[in-house]
Amino acid sequence: MPSSTLRLGTLGLAAATLILMPATATATASATAASASDQPVRPVAAGYAANADAAASRAVAGGLLNRYASSKAKATGVAPVSVGAVRRTASAVPVYELSPAFVRSGSGPVGQARYAVTTYALGGESASVASAPQPNGSWQAVNVASGDTESRMSALAKGSPLLHEPQVDAWYAVRGDRVVALDGDARRAIGGGSVSVAAYAGLVHAKYADKLPGSAYDTAGYAGGYAAQSPKSSSSKTWLTVAAGGVVGAELIAWFALRRRRSAVTTI
């Protein structure tokens, strides 16, 4: 999406998981992903997207997008958009994010499905509602973002699993044993249009394996090392996070602390 577009949320749950998982020995970069190419991603369970759509619908019916519009107005100083008749414009898109085991040693799937995003039209704008499964098996809307990034990236993925590397906000399609860049951030991250799963394992291992729990970055208080990165110029944004009952708050706050240090977080 263009850098001028206000983006009011990114879950990045896998990034938080990288921080929260217990530390284990780090493999060398040369010991990457022979096994990962056997099964690059695991399919989502039947009903995954439908459950996300249902959770988003409940949240929207409860006034979530009205609260989003108010929070956005406070952040930007622009009069709130008239929500009016809210219309769903795209069904839920499952989003995969990096698996800690894959980052550590190249083992297992590249990514794990963390959440799914349903897109709505409100006024002349789009808003994306992210929903995630909870420990008790229920689904909850956990975040709202401006724009329609996930639905656009899913269209570019053309049915392939959609992978997000939240640390650099890069989007990929996983096609067989290839990781295919879908945006400029992804092309810069991998140095071209696509790489093999094994090569991608080497890249993310080199970038993130030393930032897992127990690393020097972690013990020095850098929140897994990602807080040492400078946010992009477009990152001074407002984030609307839904954390009813405190079910998802810890992982989300960990992610926001990493990636959006200059962003205000509003929990409703």
Alpha-carbon span 30 to 71, nearest angstrom: 47
The whole-number pLDDT of residue 242 equals: 61
* 8 found inside a domain: no
Query: pLDDT tens, 58-67?
Result: 999 999 998 8
154 within domain boundaries: yes
Residue 3 lies in a domain: no
225: left (phi over 0), alpha (psi -120 to 50) or beta: left
**Does any domain span residue 5?**
no
Does residue 197 sit within a domain? yes
Domain-located, residue 51: yes
Number of domains in the chain: 1
Tens digit of pLDDT for each residue in 174-183? Answer: 999 999 999 9
With CA atoms as reference, report the closest residue to 243 among 255, 234, 232, 231. Answer: 255
110 in any annotated domain: yes
pLDDT, residue 128, reads 95
Domain coverage including residue 165: 13-267
Q: Is residue 176 part of a domain?
A: yes
